[in-house]
Amino acid sequence: MLTPARARACLILLFTAPLPLAASSCSDDAATQAPLGGVTYHRDVRPLIERSCATCHTADGPTRYDFTAPVPADSAPEWAAAAASAVREGRMPPWMPSDTCRELSGVRRLSDEERALFESWADNGYAMGDEAEFAPLPPLEGPADPGPPTLEITPTEPYTPPLGVVDDYRCFVLPHDFSEETYLVGTSVEPGAVSLSHHALIYMIPAASIATIEDLDAADEGPGYQCFGGPGGGALTTLGGWVPGAVPAMAAEGSASIVPAGSRLVLQMHYNTLAYADGAPIPSDQSTVQLWTSTTLPSHRLESLPLAHLGMEIEPFEQQVVEERVYTVPTDGEIVAVTPHMHVLGRSIRVAFEAEGVSEPTCMVDVPAWDFHWQQQYSLAPDAVLEVKKGDRVRVTCTYDNSAENQPILDGEPRTPEIVRWGEGTLDEMCLAYIVVRVPLETPDFRCASYPECQPTCPEGDGHCFFDCTTVGGGQCASCLLGGVFQCAPAFCASSGLALQSCVGGCAEAASSCLLYECAAEWDTFYACMEPHLEGGACNEQLAACNVEL
């Protein structure tokens, strides 16, 4: 039976253009039994199409097919074969996780019976049948209307994606300063041009990273700036996102994301111009971020922890390279959502929870066939939320294909395989998982709670181990700790610090890869100088913002 929770999940079902984010098995057993006399469009397939597909497949939607247009009475619609093929091959609905892990909310997956209907329709020559036999399925029961947003923020200028760039990732620094701490309970995006908009992500930029983001914006001509892997600026927080057909994402009652005073937001838009490949004029977009805030102090806050394997290294010409990292959970709480992330060489990614003293890990999300164009935050079902204790672990396993046959195209030719490391760029890679942890509001800042236990295990002078220890609690800890170390350095290690800075400044790779690889010698010299001062507490003032005292 199609439950309300599953019905809400069926708002998004696309047969062509890829989307991220979303939303449960769309099965209604009573509605999907194969009828006598062969499957027809009006009696069997059309109810599913109108229930689950027409939200996005509209005249001004992001795909080339309009499922809301009347179809000829005597012939199958032009998209019939494409739809049946997409369902048969598992490309649609675009739901990537395996169903062998923790139960997720909003699983967008057709049941076997529904898939069989599309297959049988194809076998029956896409027969139209009698329109009088059409009976709509019950309307989808969505979540409660949250009412109008508290705040709407729009980029200052419209942007027109360039012709010929099918996938264009553009970031816009939004013109709003948060003058006071804000309790965010819901997010959405209203696209200015739905036909272009593949998906959107909303990032919170802490005050310390705003200058970096503004520099990226200023260095790129036109509105916004290019941002394939993310907006840049270090470890940032993802507040929400949008795909066609989505409804506002609202926090559970009593929970909120905390936006500190002085923060800014960046809107990342992914534009897909496939529908304009025939040369039709591309419209401009000026999408609006919608925020729902609360003036009531929440009982719990939501923290997004980036678990980033910054020291990853993918060897060239290898068809299967596995990078794995285990992170220590820095606080008691509940894991309520997971967002796995890689780039185009990724083949699979798995995120598992390992409780202290329990031998069997709990799989949270497993994407066995990674596709960069179909990524999203996956929320655990209410009954599947994981209680965690400080010291528990999260294991992130990423598999890559860096063979000659799986290379991005550069200037019309496949790239020659080379070593690939962590980075923001299109040709870089990531092994990253965000976990959203719900904690009581009064919980102290825990970004680097795992570091003091890790650092003493490092051999003397081992800068690589020190770097790894800064990341065991997530990317936010690494950003904070390394920033504090560099702030402290001029008083003790100015010469080696300048040498390191000079090396990193001329580095073509991401800063993390620079430190560990291109500038490894300079980093080791710098760390050997700084280590006694760090351990002696001389930098505690600079590390205080990370809640670390040595």
pLDDT digits (tens, 9 = 90+) for 285-298: 999 999 999 999 99
234 falls in which pLDDT band (50, 70, 90)?
A: low
* Domain range annotation of the chain: 1-142, 151-298, 308-442, 444-550
Residue type, 412: G
CATH architecture of 151-298: Sandwich (2.60)
31 falls in which pLDDT band (50, 70, 90)?
A: very low
pLDDT digits (tens, 9 = 90+) for 315-341: 999 999 999 999 989 899 999 999 899
Q: Would the CATH topology of 151-298 be identical to that of 308-442?
A: yes
Helix residue spans in 366-493 (DSSP H):
451-454, 463-471, 475-488
**CA 353/CA 103 separation, integer angstroms:** 14
CB 95 within 8 A of CB 109: yes
Q: What pLDDT is attached to residue 180? A: 95
Q: What pLDDT is attached to residue 396? A: 97
Dihedral of CA 166/349/512/541: which sign?
Answer: positive
Tell me which of 90-99, 183-192, 389-398 is least confident. 90-99
Q: What CATH number is given for 308-442 in this structure?
A: 2.60.120.230
204 falls in which pLDDT band (50, 70, 90)?
A: very high
Q: Which two tokens stand for residue 231?
A: 């907006």
* Percent of the chain predicted with pLDDT > 90: 45
pLDDT at 66 over 60: yes
Query: What is the mean predicted confidence (pLDDT) over 345-362?
Result: 94
Measured from the Cβ of residue 419, the count of other Cβ atoms closer than 10 Å reads: 12
pLDDT at 255 over 90: yes
Average pLDDT, the chain: 84
Q: What pLDDT is attached to residue 135? A: 93
pLDDT digits (tens, 9 = 90+) for 118-140: 999 999 999 999 999 999 887 65
Query: What is the mean predicted confidence (pLDDT) over 91-100?
Result: 84
User: What DSSP assignment string belongs to 431-464?
Assistant: -EEEEEEEEETTPPP-TTTTHHHHGGGSPTT-HH
pLDDT at 545 over 60: yes
Residue type, 43: R
37 falls in which pLDDT band (50, 70, 90)?
A: low
pLDDT at 58 over 80: no
Query: What is the mean predicted confidence (pLDDT) over 26-33?
Result: 39
Q: What pLDDT is attached to residue 17? A: 30
Q: What pLDDT is attached to residue 4? A: 31
User: What DSSP assignment string belongs to 8-69?
Assistant: HHTT---SSS-------B---GGG-SPPTT---IIIIIHHHHHHHTTTTSSTTSSSS--TTS
Total-model pTM: 0.78
Does 55 or 293 have the greater pLDDT score?
293
Does 477 or 414 have the greater pLDDT score?
414
Query: What is the mean predicted confidence (pLDDT) over 473-497?
Result: 87
Q: What pLDDT is attached to residue 22? A: 33
Dihedral of CA 526/528/531/532: which sign?
Answer: negative
pLDDT digits (tens, 9 = 90+) for 415-467: 999 999 988 777 889 999 989 999 999 998 887 888 888 888 888 888 888 88
367 falls in which pLDDT band (50, 70, 90)?
A: very high
Query: What is the mean predicted confidence (pLDDT) over 48-59?
Result: 77
Q: What pLDDT is attached to residue 300? A: 97
Query: What is the mean predicted confidence (pLDDT) over 300-305?
Result: 91
Q: What pLDDT is attached to residue 175? A: 96
Measured from the Cβ of residue 526, the count of other Cβ atoms closer than 10 Å reads: 25
Q: What pLDDT is attached to residue 34? A: 44
Q: How far is CA 335 from the centre of its chain?
A: 16
pLDDT at 36 over 50: no
Question: Element (H or E) spanning 386, and its range?
Answer: strand 386-388
Q: What pLDDT is attached to residue 127? A: 93
Nearby residues of 114 by Cβ (< 8 Å), 6 or more positions away: 26, 27, 32, 48
Residue type, 240: G
**CA 299/CA 509 separation, integer angstroms:** 42
Dihedral of CA 398/401/406/407: which sign?
Answer: positive
pLDDT digits (tens, 9 = 90+) for 420-433: 998 877 788 999 99
Tell me which of 41-55, 279-293, 340-354 is least confident. 41-55
Query: What is the mean predicted confidence (pLDDT) over 385-397?
Result: 95
